[in-house]
Amino acid sequence: MKSTLSRCYARTTNRTPFGVALAEASDDGKEIHIGVSLVHPEKDKWSREIGNKIAEGRLNTRQLSIPNSNDEDELTNSIVNLLYRTENQVFLDYMLNELKFVVHRASRFYRKHSNATPSNNS
């Protein structure tokens, strides 16, 4: 099966902080794994490579995962529920649109390339 990895970059209006959002469907399509980073170009001596490595490392840990679904509203609610009131809430504050984009796209990639549909009641 083709890769379901989806990547998106985020910047606030003054270009700081800078974020990277990644999402990828699990091999069985039951979950969407999320990797995310938010760095400041001056304080963190940001480079695109560092932001990507941080997000990829978090994606690979599989600590931020939500159930896959055909319903994009359900996927969005799962993102918010996963990150709300945790140390990861900053990503909701700065990157919700980018997170929705990558998660929805990873779910669509899985459905397109696997000829399968995830259960809405996983």
pLDDT at 63: 92
Domain span at residue 31?
6-114
Residue 110, C-beta contacts closer than 8 angstroms, at least 6 positions apart: 4, 25, 29, 68, 116, 118
Q: 67 versus 48: which is more confidently predicted? A: 67
Instruction: Evaluate whether residue 19 is within a structural domain.
Output: yes
- % of the chain exceeding 90 in pLDDT: 54
pLDDT at 46: 60
Rounded average pLDDT over 109-113: 89
**Distances from the Cα of 56 to the Cαs of 22, 42, 74, 107, in angstroms?**
7, 21, 24, 18
CA angle, 37 as apex, 90 and 99 as ends, to 5°? Answer: 70
Instruction: Evaluate whether residue 121 is within a structural domain.
Output: no
Instruction: Evaluate whether residue 122 is within a structural domain.
Output: no
Above 50 in pLDDT, residue 121? Answer: no
Tens digit of pLDDT for each residue in 15-34?
666 789 999 999 999 999 99
Q: Are 92 and 83 in contact (CB under 8 A)?
A: yes
Per-residue tokens: 95? 């990157």
Instruction: Evaluate whether residue 52 is within a structural domain.
Output: yes
Mean pLDDT across the chain = 85
Number of structural domains (the chain) is 1
pLDDT at 122: 42
Instruction: Evaluate whether residue 79 is within a structural domain.
Output: yes
Tens digit of pLDDT for each residue in 59-97?
999 999 999 999 999 999 999 999 998 888 988 888 899
Residue 52, C-beta contacts closer than 8 angstroms, at least 6 positions apart: 20, 37
pTM above 0.75, yes or no: yes
